[in-house]
Structure 1
Amino acid sequence: MTRPASIINFERCFWASMLLGVGSLALHWSGMIDGLKSDPTVAPMVESAVIFVGVALGIGFALSVLLWYFVARKANNIAKWIFVVVMGFGAVSTLTSLNDPTSPTGLALAISLVSTALTALSILFLFRPDARAWFGKDAVDPRTFE
């Protein structure tokens, strides 16, 4: 079965969000390190903290890519729901952090909000009729995939 338009759009939004996240990380890495160095409880072990943060980010990225693979390439319904729950919590977390005075501002905030919007849009694409057929939930007109 060829992939339906909704799954292709899911992938586009997913990868755009991931690229924004990586770009934002690259732009703000030094600020994150400076924040770690200024925290008196972390400053003595900042090298270990940087390694820990890097490993955690790498694992998060790998898990996101793994979920993408099972959702977009293998039509795995369980992976779809794991993606929806995890990314849904992430989107809600981003929105609730708007009231936090220590949360990013300016360009970092703008990138975060755009990335969150793309994530929410990617989730919506997973519930369109042609995506439901991709996951084996509904019968659908074959012309949908043209």
Structure 2
Amino acid sequence: MAKPDSIKKFDLFYLGSIVVGLLGIVFGWDMMMEQMNADFVAQGLEPDSGIATGAIIGGTVLGIVISLALWFLISVSRIEFVKWILALFVLWSLFTMAVGISATGFDMVQITGILSTILSIAAIYMLFRPDAKEWFAAKRGD
């Protein structure tokens, strides 16, 4: 069975949310480096751009791997319960986004984070549409 429109739209919205998230990291790189170095100073350590860079890159790579794994399990392997795991991750991002805005204010990183989250919510919505439910059920043989 070919992918229904809802799953095709899920692919576009979800992969788009990953790209927007990456753009947020690019646009907010200097700010994130400053924040990490300020955290080092607050802990009584010397600022270390190498560790900060490694942490940001490592966290980004880990996030992309997890995001792509979730996408693969949903869109390619057609494992329906993974959509609930993705929904939990998006709920968590809503919470952390609200905390981030209250702590640091509204900036470019927050704007891209909001846009990425909106795209993720749209992607999740597509997974609960009737044609997507039928597509998942067809794999199970229902």
TM-score using structure 1 length:
0.81
What corresponds to 1:141 in structure 2? none
Task: Summarize deviations over 1:57-108 as a string: whole Å, max 9, x none.
Answer: 211110100110110111111322211211222133324543x1324x2333
What corresponds to 1:33 in structure 2? 33
Tell whether the 8 Å contact from 2:28 to 2:108 is kept in structure 1 after alignment. no
TM-score using structure 2 length:
0.84
- Identity, % of aligned pairs? 23
Pairing 1:17–2:17 present: yes
Matches within 5 A, 1:1-146: 1-39=1-39, 40=41, 41=43, 43-44=45-46, 46=48, 47-98=50-101, 100-103=102-105, 105-136=106-137
Helix, strand or coil at the partner of 2:128: coil
User: Quick one: which amino acid aligns to residue 15 of structure 1?
Assistant: L
User: Quick one: which amino acid aligns to residue 13 of structure 2?
Assistant: C
Measured on the aligned residues, the alpha-carbon RMSD in Å equals 2.0
**CA 1:17/1:136 → structure 2, altered by over 3 Å: closer, same or farther?**
same
Consecutive unaligned residues of structure 2, counting only runs of 5 or more, are: none
Query: Post-superposition shift, 1:48?
Result: 2.3
Alignment length (residue pairs): 135
Distance 2:57 2:22 in 1: 12
**CA 1:107/1:55 → structure 2, altered by over 3 Å: closer, same or farther?**
closer
**CA 1:42/1:55 → structure 2, altered by over 3 Å: closer, same or farther?**
farther
Query: Post-superposition shift, 1:119?
Result: 0.8
Consecutive unaligned residues of structure 1, counting only runs of 5 or more, are: 138-146
User: Quick one: which amino acid aligns to residue 83 of structure 1?
Assistant: L
User: Quick one: which amino acid aligns to residue 134 of structure 1?
Assistant: W
Distance 2:100 2:32 in 1: 17
Distance 1:115 1:22 in 2: 9
